[in-house]
Amino acid sequence: MANYTAADIKALREATGAGMLDVKKALDEAEGDTGKATEILRVKGLKGVSKREGRTTSNGLVLAEAEGGVGTMVEVLCETDFVAKGEKFIALAQQVFDQAVAIKAADAEALTASSTTDGQTIQDLLDSANATIGEKIEVKRVSRIEAPVVAAYLHKTSPDLPAQIGVLVGGEGADGVARDVAMHIAAFAPTYLSREDVPEDVVANERRIAEETAKEEGKPEAALPKIVEGRVNGYFKENALLDQPFAKEAKKSVAKVLEENGGKVTQFARFRVGG
């Protein structure tokens, strides 16, 4: 019988992020040598990389920071929450994020194709981690915002997981109001910046649905235009950031709060893990 303990299993799981059964098999094959077991996990993992291509990555984390008028945000995904909260995955995600900042990456493709100082590409690092951890790991999204004022906000949806929601806000004015708006975006998930940014076909479809619904409800024909307009405005208040009631002061819109504080938002990005 291989010479290893429960503590060895725990340590190897934490070091590699691999599953319990895989770790035990590797330790058995390595006769308790954790160094050899790590190599075995890596070799066996590399053989399975192609098989993991089609797997679903619905866990992971978001990293974001803003400094000097530049904000960067990266979403790195894995398959399970066990891996997502592991030190190895978090360290890998930080390495990926640091690379995104260093090369001023604005999309996932450019980031994964880029080379680090030791000559490896980010994709090489991901493949290596896939092999060791035994899960598909990928960079899903990247955002970069430049503006006179940029704020970043990260939110944990569970205390035992890394941040699952990240927001970048770019605009003008005071840093404080920009951060407040970033927190608002994290909570209320707007799709568009303003009502003017909503595509015409989307607005037309909302008008059609509002009219058909009102008719189905038996509303008077003469009242339909006003009812439809009210419901379309309701859509804007739900989906357009500047029209939304502000999280900290619901009687005012985000646009009104920005105006009162001498601020302006020109762009934003919001990532939710797996969203």
Residue 48: predicted pLDDT: 47
- Mean pLDDT on 112-125: 92
Mean pLDDT of the chain: 90
pLDDT tops 90 at residue 191: yes
Residue 174: predicted pLDDT: 77
Residue 49: predicted pLDDT: 43
pTM for this prediction: 0.78
Residue 52: predicted pLDDT: 45
Residue 117: predicted pLDDT: 85
- Mean pLDDT on 53-61: 73
> Binning pLDDT at 50, 70 and 90, where does residue 75 land?
very high
Residue 11: predicted pLDDT: 83
User: Bridge partners of 103?
Assistant: none
- Mean pLDDT on 170-177: 88
Domains of the chain: 6-47 (1.10.8.10), 59-193+262-272 (3.30.479.20)
